[in-house]
Amino acid sequence: MSKNKTIIVFLVKFFATYFILSGIYSIYLKQTQEKVDLFSCSPLTKTVANHVQKLSNILGYNAYVEQSTDELSMKFIFNGEYVSRIIEGCNSFSIIILFLSFIIAFSGSLKATFLFGLFGSVLIYIVNLLRIIAISILYHRFPKYQNILHDLVFPSIIYGLTFVLWVTWVKYFSNINKNASTKKL
């Protein structure tokens, strides 16, 4: 019965957190994106695009971003060529919500949960910026592999990182192991 209770508590905490954070994010997107007469991405997506541009330039690439006039996306121009677009799904906030929902569901101490949540979110954000730059460079150099890169290779990077963070969280910081070791005594 105790095992079932642990699973049920995890599921309730996970889905409650996920739906609350996703709901807040959805409201934010509805209030900040414009798609009637003029397309304008949310400030979060614009920030990600600007960070991609700045990081690309720091790494020595000639890159810039601009708002698309045809859709809710930021065009990523690399070495003078439009190679990719940054949309809301590319800004990493949906995956950060998923990450946070998991660690809150398997919570540790308040301090550990907060610090690991902050650390993991920043790490996911930075890796996502590098992922966007890498995919754009590879799109530029190998355009015929865009589908494989976009649909297989690069999702595995961001989801793989998130999985490693989850395993690290459960193994070293969550209360789940503390409860198990207390019961053994």
Stretch 134-160: mean pLDDT: 91
> Global pTM?
0.90
6 pLDDT band, cuts 50/70/90, is confident
Q: Where are the domains of the chain?
A: 2-175
- Asked if pLDDT for residue 131 goes beyond 70, the answer is yes
Distance, C-alpha 157 to centroid of its chain: 11
Q: Which of 89, 104, 90, 17 is nearest to 52 (CA)?
A: 90
177 pLDDT band, cuts 50/70/90, is low
Stretch 160-182: mean pLDDT: 83
Q: What is the rounded CA–CA span in Å between residue 63 and residue 85?
A: 13
Task: Work out whether the CA dihedral 149, 154, 54, 44 comes out positive or negative.
Answer: positive
SS3 60: coil
Residue-by-residue DSSP string for 142-173 = -GGGHHHIIIIIHHHHHHHHHHHHHHHIIIII
Across the beta sheet with 63-67, the strand order is: 63-67, 74-78, 81-86
14 pLDDT band, cuts 50/70/90, is very high
157 pLDDT band, cuts 50/70/90, is very high
Q: What is the rounded CA–CA span in Å between residue 144 and residue 31?
A: 37
